[in-house]
Each structure stands twice: as structure tokens, then as C-alpha cells.
Chain A
């Protein structure tokens, strides 16, 4: 098993964090993982992306030219990465702010209204977790308990009261697909 995943959007949308949570979960599931961010001045605005590879065999390159799954959060990233999804692969995107929807017919495309769901849940910070839920539903590479273990390890104890909200967001994302 090897999954090559790209997550791309605006800096600040939680793209890198989502990748990190996914990679941590992979680690707790005993997989090989790599997490390669774009590390430019993205946190000051502009696009950000992260490549996550999860595999049960050693991973050669953390830098890739095509992906099994793409999670796309803005138009620029859609323009850049739609063509880089492998035939038969999966493209998940949030239609919020997208004016040219993806057009490929040789991949599975799933619009996930994550922004709307975030607004409905009245918690802007769980946006990326909703998308992670959608990703895990379509691509059960890691188990939700491993995600929660990873999150619990990554978060300082004073933030542990946020864990249930995160779990809820993942579940909501799973329902949205």
C-alpha cells in the first residue's frame, strides 16, 4: 500500500497542519511517512501545499509529480494540481470560492462543502479537520483513532478540551462525502 497525497490551499487554511495530523496518524498506524511542505513566505498569504506519502514500504522521494489523491482548497491550487492527479485517482475540493470546477472525467471528483459546514458548526478552526474527514472516508489510509492519538500527542494538554470538537469535525466531513 502506498498513498501519495497533495493538500493545497491558502496559507492559514490549515493545509500544513492537516498534512501533519495525517502523517502523525500514519506513524501511529506503523506506516512509513513523509511530509514535505512548501515552506516559502506562505504564512504571510498566498498558496501553501504539502505532499504526504503513506506507505507500508520505505518511501523514496518526498517530492512527486503526480498524486493518488488531491485535497484542494482554492482556485489557484485546483488550476495547478487537477492535471497532476493520477488517472483513477481522487480529487476532493471545497466549492467555496471555486469558479471553474474541475473537469476531468478519468478521476473521481468529490465536492465537499467544508466551508459551509464550518460556518454551521460555528468554529472556523476545524475547517481542515472536516476535509480530513472527507479524505479519510474516501481514502481510509489511517484509522480515526490513530488520528485522535496523533492529535492528542501533537497538542499541548491545555488544548485537549478541543479534541472532541476535532473528532466531531472529522465525522462531519465523513458524512459530507
Chain B
């Protein structure tokens, strides 16, 4: 079957991909720069075709708790928001992680802190990868850099979320949310039937059928010894995810003497800088983490044995650089270039930052 290539925004691609994945419910509240997710879903009216529920909740707190409830029944449910809205969801996210429930959360980041700006940012890296809410937990964080990945990571996020019974976050920024480029949407899949859910999610709270006791999902455990057992179980899942689900992409690293590490759309700006630098014979490469948690620690450690220096470029004051430094363990210097508040650097500025920190690179 011939696949149709379409031109659309990253946010629109998420909405289309959600319907085509067979998502059961979307609960959200509008906020720039991701409002097109909800707007597109409302325009496409999937409740009339696949039966998907699309609901504009009264707040982000309500949205995430609707996700919590929907996920408890084994349904594929999601929400999307931008930075300040995601902050409001942190309590619910901690509960969903503790309840070991699959769900997809989309954060199209804007500049903060506070209400901040509506322009692109990556300043929620810490919040996304280190837990964000209370308690010891992680969830899978996928960082798309193209509109195609915005579409593809909806399915990937849900598949991983159900595989490990954990929330997954699609952590994008205003650039990849608002830009348009070519995308090939996945095939339409049917929503899962109740029988499938009963088979694939035996933990789901779906009423008590004959032959088993009631399923109970709770995050409260007053017996500390049992709560520690729960924590050990969460941690065991996280170790398994770290072992199996690290994703990244390397560009021009074979002979690289200097390395950029960047995620999301900023990786593309670095790549453009690298293309220009390569024409001048400067051997510089790029590692783009696709999963921010789990982080490609081993791969960066390997490249640290090869390169003379590493430049981390982010739309923040220096967040992912901490994970890069932990991976590098002091083998080579690691420097940071970051813009904040919604300012996006251009390829020239990115290259200049490499030369400013590593003058030998400009030879």
C-alpha cells in the first residue's frame, strides 16, 4: 500500500498518531505551544470513528487524574501540555508511576521558570528525567527531533509503557511542536477490545469477573516493610528499562575529534553546524540521546575515549550536561552552551561555542 506523505506540524502529528494507535482517551487542557494537539483531535472527531474519548478537562490537575483513572482500567490514555501545565501534573505522575500504570504524557516545553514564555525551551529536562514529583521513581522519556518522530514516538511510548507498566513521556519543545515537515502516519489500528485488555492487562481494574478476586490498585501502603518491597520492585523495573531501552543516534562520530551532545530539535541545529564545519575539515560529530531516561551513558563513555572534548548544547542553563559528565567521568573536558527563556541559537552560534571552549578545534 502506498503511504501518503503529508505536511503537518509536530503537534498535529501527535494527534493523528494517537488516533491511529487506537488510543482510548485523551484528556488535556490548552496551553501554547502545544494547543494544536487538542485542537486537531477535536477537529478530527475520533469519537465518531474509533470511539476515542477526547475531553478538555477543567485543569491540568484534572487531566492527569483522568489519565490515572483511565490507565487503571487498562485503557491506552494520554494527556499533553507544556511546562507550567506539566508542573501541575507532578502529583498525579508520581501516583501513576507508583501505581505501575501505563500512560503517555506529552510535554512540548516552553521557556520557564514560572509562567515564563511561549517560545521553545528544554528546561524541564531535570523534571522529566529525575522524577519530578515526590518519591523514588522514573519514567521513560523520549525526545523527538522531527515531526516524523513526534508521530512515531506516540506508538513507541505506549508500547514501552504497556511493556513495563510505567508512564512514558514524549518530551518535545516548541520548535518541533510548531514546525511543519513531511510525515508518513502509521496505519490505523483498532482500539483494543475489553477481552484483549483482560488478557494483556490482568492487573486492570475492570470489575470482578468470575474466577478471580478483585484487582486493587493503590499507591498507599502503611506497612513500611511492604512499601520497601514495592520500591524494590519499581527499581527492578527501572534497571530492566535501563538495560534494554536506551535509544540514541550518532552522526559523524566515526572519526570525530570533538563531540556535540544535544537532544530534540537542538540536535538538528548542531547537525547543521557540523555539516558546515565538516566542509572546513573540522572533525566534529554528534550524539543525540533519543531516550533521555534511560540515558545513553555507556555510549557517551565510549565516545569520551575517542574525542578530545564534548560540547553539550541545550535550551537551558545546563541540565543534561550533568548526565553527560557522569558518563564521561572526567576523561575529557565537557562544556555547555545554553540559551534560555525561549531564545533558540542558530547553527553559527553553536559552532562558535565549540571554538570558544575548544580553540584547538578551529584548526
Contacts and interface: CB of A to CB of B under 8 A. Distances in A.
Asked if A and B bind, the verdict is yes
Interface of A: 20, 23-24, 27, 32-37, 39-41, 59-66
Contacts of B344: 63
A62 B347 CA distance: 10
Given A27-B5, A35-B7, A39-B174, A64 B346 contact: yes
B181 to A, nearest CB: 5
Contacts of A65: 346-349
A34 B118 contact: no
Contacts of A32: 181-182
B5 A61 contact: no
B7 A64 contact: no
A127 B6 CA distance: 26
6 contacts: A33-B181, A35-B7, A40-B118, A60-B268, A60-B272, A63-B269
Contacts of A27: 5-7, 182
Given A32-B182, A33-B7, A34-B181, A61 B118 contact: no
Given A60-B275, A62-B175, A33 B182 contact: yes
Contacts of A23: 7, 180
A37 B268 CA distance: 16
Contacts of B272: 60-61, 63-64
A16 to B, nearest CB: 10
Contacts of B182: 27, 32-33
B291 to A, nearest CB: 21
B204 interface: no
Interface string B267-279: 0110111010000
Nearest to A65: B346
Given A32-B182, A33-B181, A35-B181, A63 B7 contact: no
A23 B181 CA distance: 8
Contacts of A62: 175, 179, 181, 265, 268
Contacts of B253: none
Given A27-B7, A39-B118, A40-B118, A61 B179 contact: no
B179 A37 contact: yes
B119 A24 contact: no
B33 interface: yes
Given A23-B7, A27-B5, A61 B174 contact: no
B178 interface: yes
B178 A61 contact: no
Interface residues of B, number: 26
Interface string B157-182: 00000000000000000110011111
Q: Closest 3 interchain pairs by CB?
A: A61-B272, A65-B346, A35-B180
A125 B269 CA distance: 35
Contacts of B118: 39-41
Given A39-B33, A41-B118, 19 more contacts: A20-B7, A24-B7, A27-B6, A27-B7, A32-B182, A33-B180, A34-B179, A34-B180, A35-B179, A37-B178, A39-B178, A40-B118, A60-B275, A61-B269, A61-B347, A62-B179, A63-B175, A63-B344, A64-B347
Contacts of B5: 27
A33 B179 CA distance: 10
A60 B271 contact: yes
Contacts of B268: 60-63
B229 to A, nearest CB: 48
Interface string B103-139: 0000000000000001100000000000000000000
Contacts of A35: 7, 179-181
Nearest to A61: B272
B179 A36 contact: yes
B311 to A, nearest CB: 16
Interface string B37-56: 00000000000000000000
Contacts of A34: 179-181
B82 to A, nearest CB: 12
A36 B344 CA distance: 12
A36 B173 CA distance: 13
Nearest to B32: A39
Interface string B249-282: 0000000000000000100110111010000000
Contacts of B271: 60-61
Contacts of B6: 27
